[in-house]
Structure 1
């Protein structure tokens, strides 16, 4: 496994991050394909054996169950000082007032609840999951700063927003001497590259690392579009992101398959290698529901594409509508 620094920090993270949205309770969560604890633990353990030290979850994943599963497994299998754990805040955790969002009240409450579920004294990276249009960003950034100063988080990051929003948040942190953001968890893969227009250039200028989510486009880059899985049949969020542009994206998916056949590797190798060779990308966040998923992702770190391969993969891309911010 290769490691890199996350943002302008001295913290080392593996080039693959294991995303924990795949772990939870399929009976109580919108995603019916997630794994229960019994099936999740071997994947987390295998990730550690492969040298992966970076794990990402969120309070909203299975309404806290993901954090519980990940926390128990890491407590049993890992050295806390070696691993990097990220969780996120914003989602609606309960009905009624103050159940979600990025108010000071919500953030200070949710960090304590996340730490309790994770069975940890701190998280390494605390991420705002979305932009909160109903809370002044000054209130949000100051609350995040206070969490860092209290020792409950080491660093802060952001996810899924417009570049102007991220710039505004970062500027407010700088102007007030508050903790600055070190990472951007954005939607980026071979069939969705709209982040290249503004978010990536801005992040590079700030020394902010990218930790892209959906690096395999919810599996669409790993198989022919005609192949159906439980996730493709039940994941309405993924369908809302990719179904509308399926015909446009088909040529890119076919080119991924061609290169995979040429190099005698999996399509995962091709899709992840493209991301790993992209400037600013520290670690794609890879979900896994089988051991082979995380094993293949870890193996992809050692694979390299040529400049000609990258041109071949990127050439068919056409502009897409913005998705993933809501």
Structure 2
């Protein structure tokens, strides 16, 4: 197998480091360059102790020092807005971006939710929204793939099959989401300190989280009409993991069993998305450290409603693992290559 040469921009952040971790286990990947401007010159092992056995990794460098002509795939793990202009100008390598910069199709919507004009609006239409299980037909020829956010990944895997079948109503979707602290990134901020997070649970970005328009955009495509969801994220005192409990209203004539059957059929042959046995609630411990998503459906006490629950690892299936899964599809490699590891337990 010819090895794919990759560059990881933003390797000093959580998603970049997890992408490197996964890439080291991928037999078809050679890590050619690691970008991190503030840590330029350092070794990965100097800032990430779990890479102590991999001191042969390329040193961290500034983006301008990377020879992109010798790279096949560039992974953008930079903060929102920081890498869009750089990535948009890369003509030779194919790009998989893990930030939010190319997920939304509307530059106006991006500016509204992120507070700045989009740095490369001309690239938005051509970017493929990389929810792998629904994007496969478009990935083979893609030059720019926008990986979904972690919250939208779990929400959309749970909801898209139901929306496409019109088994639920678009006007009554409420998402209650829980995330580990790594979902907030590695930057130093008071709210992420141990004493602020430990032994506590708290909502944040109440009523206006940046992943809301992304969820609504993709659900609107599935329903064929505009959608507005209620979405409330919460921070939990754990390193990684994400759990979403989604309340939906059944379409006329639909039953809870119909939702289970739709999910069972849609994901029957999927390597990473699994409908659990009836009555088994998803939990983050079922997917920790893996590229898997577990789902289930439960009746709500209101006869016309149901609860759809999904669990993923926010750094793997919700970010770096899905990025590698997309790369495998783009290059015609086995989709599970490098991602076969079972979840970590305990």
Superposition TM-score, scaled by structure 2 size: 0.33
Where relative contact order (Cα < 8 A, 6+ residues apart) is larger, the structure is 1
The structure whose residues are more often strand, as a share, is 2
